[in-house]
Structure 1
């Protein structure tokens, strides 16, 4: 890949995730303070991400892969996203906000796969080249959080009281407009014609790989993946409102520590995985979720603020050691015939169904303790996902049997150069 192409793709990834990080992290705080949303209304808004993840494969599988250049659809979707962001910026109630955020998520989630597709098609060796490009996405997410806290101070107590958090949508909208126009300058990425490619609903959603669930170990892993998304949803929905509510300074900027740790632990994952195996690696990830929420439950913004910082920093272990190692395990167990289908099935089950359940559970739990006027509201809320993660880890420890992969199925990343996964993970 030449230098100019590398710069173009890196800038694309930076903007792609800057847009997401510019508004999604503070969404819960915005809904509660600006729109006076209830806990269940907040859960409903966050659930739009899961609906977007479920719908995205159809947009990619039925439209993008067959008829249009990936970079053109990427540009068009981000131009639409810029308009929707401006409408969200102007909304003054949950009722007017919800249709725009739902439509936006349906438009945005496919762009994750499209950005990957544009990148992969320019690479001769994606396994070595992609990480150097993708890391700029994480840097973009970090830049958005630091801008909110340290450049504009929109998440300070005074700014929140003045309703300044709505400016995050304006910032994201401007970035989306820039990426929408910029996308038409990216390398041409026409659809690849495949003679034997199936466009059935089962193939697009990865349902062909459901046969893998006959394997006891894969079934246990699959169910654990769905269940662990419930604690994950608690973090995305409640972390920023929690840190803001208890008075932690610059909460959005401090939350970027989680993305920094994600990069660091991603580098450590291959060593840990090869030395200790899949079961121990994924158990560490599960236990990290429980520990993180216990730190949130008993920490505070004063003398125990270090507990909150450690909890945020555990994001790298929580995500990388569970979800990334899970992707490697899935790739190893699926075999050549079901590699893509299996990844699609797990993605649909986790970021679609699992997170959808998780957002609503988080909403009901928060609504219950808010209605009960519990004295230790946030402590009670965080103990629930800590308990769920602990139970999932225990069941996985007792039921899962770590077995070596078959000789012909080596656990490595093998991204396809002609088609990216339908939805990629949250940072």
Structure 2
């Protein structure tokens, strides 16, 4: 079980505490930190190749950009708008949700947020009280446990590994359930592993949650990025009885190459969405109107640009998995969704590499960056030491060059 948010030291006067215990305990986003370091080295003229950020390398489709250009010239977008989102965008998100996943919701069940991270935090903040437990399958995206702690909850890790394709079972979830469990997190396709639950696996988890009266927060941000025979399924569609205790978070970032536009959303029961909206009304008010207009163009448009990006991601997926599995000591299951590979590197740890002997995946990531100028994110960031995450949302040539550098470096590893 992960630790709860720390309590202030009662021996220290409140006026002498410079940073609150809760915020002071939050770790920097590891993925953003790796990406920032890679970009800083590039800016200094170093030939760094970065596999750190979960960010498509494609530009935002032109029709979306043009909608934003036009929005800039309309004075109505220069003013405050409803904190919960533009009414037409909320309707479009409801329509898009029915189109893409078969889930029928009303605009009053939609809250437009400043990206997926705000959606996740506000969803947890709306339903968690101090000490409520959230079951978090690991490997997990680094932001989930921090958002839970910030909302006063306690993340409880349930770990899966490469032998199961990084998917947890109902039996594991049940073993983690206590009288304090309120929420189970469900993410498919997954960041950081790219795992995708089958319809039967997802239904079993949803039915288990419904049986025990648990809430489910499901992150569907990678819904359109599935490959081969894998299929995206939406939990409240598979298990309709979950709907009154299910929160869906999503956004335009990954599907439409709009990471910098910062538009996400929460879908849930009306009372929960209203509570999250009240929070947002004090935290940020409305999302940037120009970005909302761009998001409106995205979710009402067709998916042809998305299909083109997915074709490229699929090609890169097969390349990176093949190349990683050629490295002695690496074991990389083939991801079925998103745009990440998550190899186990436990077979390399402890070996000598150019005079260094990394004992952890964090130390191995440092060696790789220092010796061959390739930035990867260690598994410690995702709750599972002994792994690396590599995003394949970068150009084909950079992908091959970056993994080739790692291959050559680790070919030198000795006992």
User: Normalised by the shorter chain, which TM-score bucket?
Assistant: under 0.3
Q: Which of the pair is proportionally richer in helix?
A: 1
Per the normalisation by structure 1, the TM-score is 0.27
Larger RCO (CA within 8 A; separation ≥ 6): 1
TM-score norm. by structure 2 comes to: 0.27
